[in-house]
Amino acid sequence: MIPQTPSPLHELPISPSGIHWQNDFITPDHEARLVSLFLNELEWPDRTGRISLHYGYTFDYKTFGVDRTIPYKPFPAWLQSLIPATESRPPDQVCLQYYPRGAGIPPHVDSHRAWDQLYALSIGAPVLMQLRRGKQGERVDIDLTGRSMMQFKGDSRLHWTHGIKKRKTDVLADGTVRARGDRWSITYRWVREGHCECGDVELCDVAQERLGVEKEKRSVMAAKAQEDGLGSLG
């Protein structure tokens, strides 16, 4: 157990509810040192597009939970200072992802069965992330600015998908066209204790399993995740 501190995050006054936010979770100097470390000291997968590194437990792209067959990887020193202090224990799984300019991630929701709360730290260039309620439902854009920390809880975590479109520019709310650049995200996950009771059959793997549709839905999603490399909040 780690000492909890009062949360510096505040809930954004938007729909969906449950998006908690903190600007400048790290300083510009700290961000610059992290970018240098990411570029020069880490060993990344040798492929193009969005790539990832895992710490703690490894994300399992077949079950969308923890891959127990891969040994736990302790958090390196540079990551330990970035762990949110607002939870009673450290995260069980942390995913560092690199997004080259133009890269995205398809709309998805993190497994309800496997994971509880989610946090994400954005580093580098800003990008618009889109939240969506249902395939034809309401859509909301969130500007993921560099050095910002975001937490998903409640409605935003359980009932909305999130994703980043593949494109090299974003159009902001005021009509400004902003070029994208290289960015990194650190997603923090805590293993769920108990069962999710949200009952959302479209997005909740617990509700799907109880109705007997989970296997079909998850097999399709797993194949898609392997293809797209899902496993990050944004």
Q: Residue ranges of the domains in the chain?
A: 10-228
Query: Confidence class of residue 22 from pLDDT cuts 50, 70 and 90?
Result: very high
* For range 161-170, the mean pLDDT: 97
10-228: CATH topology: Jelly Rolls (2.60.120)
Q: What is the pLDDT of residue 51?
A: 97
Sign of the CA dihedral 58, 60, 65, 71?
negative
Confidence (pTM): 0.89
Closest CA relative to residue 130, chosen from 16, 10, 11: 16
pLDDT surpasses 80 at 40:
yes
Q: What is the pLDDT of residue 155?
A: 97
H helix count then E strand count, the chain: 5, 15
pLDDT surpasses 70 at 186:
yes
Q: In this predicted model, what pLDDT tens digit does every residue of 190-203 receive, in sequence order? A: 999 999 999 999 99
Query: Confidence class of residue 33 from pLDDT cuts 50, 70 and 90?
Result: very high
Percent of the chain with pLDDT over 70: 88
Q: What is the pLDDT of residue 64?
A: 87
